[in-house]
């Protein structure tokens, strides 16, 4: 461990399977019940002090965009203390890819923010939460993990948030990053190994929050064989300012959906084309309703961002009041997951002392 005297880790507990147990009061359903302190005690961790903050206690399938912003706000508050070496967020695996990506987009500090969770509940015969949390704390204390933004640590693997996805509903190794290599690994004894540090995109500002502040509606609409315009029209009727199209293949739909996209963008909505395919970029190639026609209709290709993370980026950019040309620029760059040589980058460095 690299932490010095009086330094500590902050554990932000938000619920999820790692904090869940079977509940008779909930009719035998599994629900988030354990506090962050209970989670910490389950690890037997004692190498560095850990301050626990209970942010919320929810299954992550219940989270809203404001909930995710609240978690990011708690991350920033935790890092206001220079004695904090890193932050660990326990989170449900269903939407870890969304919240961790939002945290990464907003993270403007050198110190690591590490998301983790569990596939098996706390009262499972062999829960994986304690081991995942113990390893995540080790990552949060590792100087080598600094400067990388928000990370996901799970089943011994460490991933950059951009591009990470849940790839299995029940397996221990729940996450992968199909379009990039893992950021590193961490052993059961807390030995952290990281790859060479990639450059980071500059962080984005957090949008205004508080009573009376609303956020532009952003929906995901799926394309499939025989899909029509009904779902796009319904999203617009509900007030959607942004739509992520979960297209097929390298970003294809059909002529009917292309017409609906053109009408949506002409009316001021921002449409982004992603794909349901596991890996690979969105590339506008095909006509007759394919990606080339979607591009002509005004849709913005998401690059390597899948629908969940594409929606988070679009939601944030809309909440910040960005124009469509600026949104397109951000997707063109951030859709590559890592910056190119020509990008303007931040130079976050560790604090002295």
d(CA 350, CA 4): 14
The reply to whether 169 belongs to the active site is no
Cα angle 104, 108, 110; round to 5 = 95
Residue 45: partners with Cβ closer than 8 Å, 6 or more residues away: 133, 134, 137
Which residue's entry shows tokens 């929606």? 311
> Which residues on neighbouring strands pair with residue 49, listed in sequence order?
none
d(CA 250, CA 238): 28
Side by side, the strands of the sheet bearing 240-247 are 217-222, 240-247, 270-275, 300-301
Reference 249, options 279, 211, 207, 205; nearest CA is 279
Of the candidates 17, 95, 116, 265, the residue annotated as catalytic is: 17
Helix (H) or strand (E) holding 69: helix 65-78
Helix axes 307-319, 96-106, angle to 10 degrees: 40
DSSP code of residue 61: G
Task: Write out the DSSP string of 98-151.
Answer: HHHHHHHHH--SSS-EEEE--SS-TTSSS-SHHHHHHHHHHHHT-GGGTTS-EE
Do 111 and 79 touch, CB atoms closer than 8 A?
yes
Residue 46: partners with Cβ closer than 8 Å, 6 or more residues away: none
d(CA 159, CA 178): 11
Q: Where are the alpha helices (DSSP H) in 158-302?
A: 230-237, 255-266, 291-296
- How many residues are given for the chain? 353
Which residue's entry shows tokens 């009904």? 230
Q: Which positions are catalytic?
A: 17
């Amino acid at each position: 461990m690299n932490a010095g005297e009086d330094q500590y880790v902050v554990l932000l507990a938000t619920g999820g399977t790692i904090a869940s147990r079977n509940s008779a009061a909930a009719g035998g359903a599994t629900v988030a019940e354990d506090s962050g302190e209970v989670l910490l005690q389950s690890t037997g961790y004692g190498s560095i002090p850990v301050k626990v903050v209970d942010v919320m206690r929810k299954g992550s399938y219940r989270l809203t965009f404001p909930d995710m912003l609240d978690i990011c706000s708690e991350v920033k508050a935790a890092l206001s203390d220079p004695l904090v070496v890193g932050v660990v967020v326990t989170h449900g695996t269903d939407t870890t890819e969304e919240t961790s990506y939002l945290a990464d987009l907003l993270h403007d500090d050198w110190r690591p923010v590490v998301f983790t969770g569990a596939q098996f509940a706390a009262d499972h015969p062999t829960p994986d939460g304690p081991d995942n949390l113990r390893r995540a704390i080790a990552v949060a204390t590792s100087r080598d993990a600094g400067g990388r933004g928000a990370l996901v640590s799970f089943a011994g693997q460490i991933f950059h948030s951009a591009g990470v996805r849940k790839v299995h509903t029940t397996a221990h190794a729940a996450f992968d990053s199909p379009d990039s290599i893992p950021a590193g690994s961490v052993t059961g004894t807390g030995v952290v190994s990281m790859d060479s540090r990639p450059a980071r995109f500059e962080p984005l500002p957090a949008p205004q929050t508080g009573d009376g502040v609303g956020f532009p509606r952003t929906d995901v609409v799926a394309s499939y064989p025989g899909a029509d315009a009904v779902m796009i029209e319904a999203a617009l009727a509900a007030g959607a300012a942004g739509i992520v199209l979960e297209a097929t293949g390298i970003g294809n739909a059909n002529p009917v959906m292309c017409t609906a996209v053109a009408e949506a963008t002409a009316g001021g909505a921002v449409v982004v084309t992603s794909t349901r395919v596991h890996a690979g970029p969105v590339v506008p190639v095909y006509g007759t309703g394919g990606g080339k026609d979607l591009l002509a209709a005004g849709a913005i290709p998401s690059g390597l961002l899948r629908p969940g993370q594409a929606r988070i980026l679009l939601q944030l950019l809309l909440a910040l009041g960005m124009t469509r040309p600026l949104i397109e620029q951000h997707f063109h760059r951030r859709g590559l997951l890592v910056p190119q040589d020509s990008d303007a980058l931040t130079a976050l460095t560790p604090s002295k002392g």
